[in-house]
Amino acid sequence: MSKLTPKLVKALSEPGSYQDGRGLQLRVSAQLRKSWVFRYMMNGRRHDLSVGSYPAVSLREARLAADKYRLEISRGINPVLERRKEREGKSSQTLEAKTFQTEAARYIRTHSPSWSTKHSQQWQNSLAKHVFPVIGSMPLAQIDTDDVLEVL
């Protein structure tokens, strides 16, 4: 049984937790920021899962997300762990896409304004001559100690 309505959600101006039912709640902070949280029990532990901020996530969208999480739980899938796996997968994909050469160039661009022209040029020349031929095109995630030792 749902207790919240779109009109009520919009009008809430007191800090606290407001239950919609079946684990979905709207939390209103002292600064009156509103966020949706799905609370559930799995393997004897309570979990709170952020669904999003109101008004970016409407009451209807929050309910749909809670339904999706309930379905995952009924299949034995922990939504918190599933989200964590997704994030780790995305971060490792991002890391795979970054090569040493692109990140070294970014580092030099970021830090060279505080360096002398000569120092900046020395860095670029040293990397181009000694490092890039060996590990420049390698994804960062694949560079290991042996690769670094080969450059030294």
- pLDDT, one tens digit per residue, over 43-95 is 888 989 999 999 999 999 999 999 999 999 998 888 888 888 777 766 655 65
Q: How much is the pTM?
A: 0.57
The answer to whether the beta carbons of residues 99 and 136 sit under 8 Å apart is yes
DSSP 8-state secondary structure symbol assigned to residue 13? -
Tally of residues, the chain = 152
d(CA 110, CA 105): 9
Task: Assign a CATH topology to domain 6-94.
Answer: Double Stranded RNA Binding Domain (3.30.160)
The answer to whether the beta carbons of residues 135 and 100 sit under 8 Å apart is yes
pLDDT digits (tens, 9 = 90+) for 105-150: 888 888 888 889 999 999 999 999 999 999 998 888 788 888 889 8
CATH of domain 98-151: 1.10.150.130
Q: Which amino acid is at 122?
A: Q
Where are the alpha helices (H) located in 4-74, listed in sequence order?
6-11, 59-74
Residues 6+ apart with CB under 8 A from 108: 120, 123, 124, 127
Tokens of 145: 């100690």
Domain boundaries, the chain: 6-94, 98-151
How many Å separate Cα 1 from the centre of its chain?
A: 33
Tokens of 48: 């709170």
